[in-house]
Amino acid sequence: MKVALVHDYLIQDGGAERVLLVLHEIWPDAPIFTLYHDPKRVGPAFDGMDIRPSILQKMPFALRHYKWTLPLMPAATEYYDLSGFDVVISSTSAFAKGVITRPDTLHICYCHTPTRYLWTDTQEYVASLRLGPLMRRFVLSFLSRLRVWDRLAADRVDRFVANSETVAERIRKYYRRDSVVIHPPVETRRLSPTGLPGEYYLAGGRLVPYKRIDLVVEAFNKLGLPLRVFGEGPELEKLKASAKPNIIFVGKVSEKEKSELYRNAIAYIHPQEEDFGITAVEAMAAGRPVIAYRRGGATETVVDGETGEFFDEQSADALARAVRRLRPADFDHTVIRRHAEKFSKEIFVAKMKEFVETSWREYPRHSPDAAKEEVVRAVVNGISL
């Protein structure tokens, strides 16, 4: 069984890239096809792998201004030569599911979410561009056409795997397809509880608008409690400018440094609606309760009153009330840790490997020899009748 991996683009170090790394651990000989590969942004984890960027990477200044090549990305995805592979596994929230494969190639899509700016967040995405009325209409028209391609691309997938029940429901709604849920891998083994009281509240990740770290900053400006925020992104400077001295931004951190931040936290703040939410599970693996907005993947990973608490309105005031309401002493770090282990990397590897191998065994072959066998079988059956 010869496997190829397809990923949207390797231009950041996020949860989707962690999934891709584990998929490559399962199938280490699989090449990785991707629209763009920027080693400086994804770090050394992918060094030495057979990574095959698309034809777009050859364009001048493409890596620096990759967003401007959006209209070319569907065609570039379709251009990959996957004819020599038995199984293609796409890891995607955008274009990778649109690859074209041979009839006898099994295409399994690990879907992080149907493309947010095409389906769930279109109006918010366009508003964030701050365009004039004419350009706004043009962009909405283009996204409408791209949405048609995205829907057709989903039809090319043979089997869907969703990273959460939340995403599985979106796949049913937008693509009219069923899926199997296999939660993303979390490195629970490298995280462990201290059993000691925490020193500060913690939030973090990629500092982009939908993560809603702005709500956390606003809430803790009012509360005056110690807060640390890890991560980088386009929102960083704006968040720093609005934060009071009780809020410390620690920037990009190593996995070891992040583990220590979790271990010494009072609680982890999760104010956004995520497809799954790896950081919340990491915090729980370190034995810390999570204060989460009751939407999206957090509803599948956080157990209210046992591993954390929810707030129902996505506002700074609602978050501040939840922080005041939380009593850290009421939570047992061993119970929280045990719950987090349900989302371990080891469980992901076992489930994903079994799903791919079973799907491959069940997938109908359409090779010339198989076709001949079917004809012979049909003739024999006809004679016997």
DSSP per position, 109-140 = EEES-S-TTTTTSHHHHHHHH---HHHHHHHH
Where residue 36 falls (left for φ over 0; alpha for ψ -120 to 50; beta otherwise) is beta
What CA–CA distances, in Å, run from 151 to 168, 173, 269?
15, 11, 35
Assign a CATH topology to domain 188-343: Rossmann fold (3.40.50)
Please give the average per-residue pLDDT across 2-13, as a whole number. 95
Rounded to two decimals, the pTM is: 0.88
214: three-class secondary structure by DSSP: helix
Whether 162 shows a pLDDT value over 90: the answer reads yes
51-98 pLDDT, tens digit per residue, is: 999 999 999 888 888 888 999 999 999 999 999 999 999 999 999 999
Q: Which amino acid is at 68?
A: W
Whether 381 shows a pLDDT value over 70: the answer reads no
* Environment class of 81 (CB within 10 Å of its CB; exposed 0-12, middle 13-18, buried 19+): exposed
* Spatial separation of the C-alpha atoms in residues 304 and 140, rounded to whole Å: 39
Whether 165 shows a pLDDT value over 50: the answer reads yes
pLDDT of residue 268: 98
Whether 383 shows a pLDDT value over 50: the answer reads no
Of 21, 76, 77, 26, the closest CA to residue 49 belongs to: 21
* Spatial separation of the C-alpha atoms in residues 275 and 257, rounded to whole Å: 25
Q: Which amino acid is at 159?
A: R
pLDDT of residue 61: 85
Please give the average per-residue pLDDT across 138-154, as a whole number. 96
Share of the chain residues as helix, strand and coil, in percent rounded to the nearest 5: 50, 15, 35
**Which part of the chain is CATH 3.40.50.2000?**
188-343
Whether 367 shows a pLDDT value over 80: the answer reads no
DSSP structure class, residue 102: -
Assign a CATH topology to domain 3-185: Rossmann fold (3.40.50)
* Percentage of the chain exceeding pLDDT 90: 84
- The torsion angles phi and psi of 285, rounded to 5 degrees, stand at -65, -25
Beta carbons within 10 angstroms of residue 367's beta carbon: 11
* Spatial separation of the C-alpha atoms in residues 116 and 143, rounded to whole Å: 11
Please give the average per-residue pLDDT across 352-376, as a whole number. 72
* Percentage of the chain exceeding pLDDT 70: 95
306 pLDDT band, cuts 50/70/90, is: very high
Whether 375 shows a pLDDT value over 50: the answer reads no
pLDDT of residue 43: 82
Please give the average per-residue pLDDT across 132-152, as a whole number. 94
What CA–CA distances, in Å, run from 363 to 83, 88, 334, 359, 373?
17, 13, 43, 6, 16
Please give the average per-residue pLDDT across 140-157, as a whole number. 96
14/138: higher pLDDT? 138
Residue corresponding to tokens 């043009």: 138
Whether 380 shows a pLDDT value over 60: the answer reads no
pLDDT of residue 378: 43
Q: Residue 187 has which token pair? A: 């490195």
DSSP structure class, residue 203: E
Which residues on neighbouring strands pair with residue 51, listed in sequence order? 32
Please give the average per-residue pLDDT across 302-318, as a whole number. 97
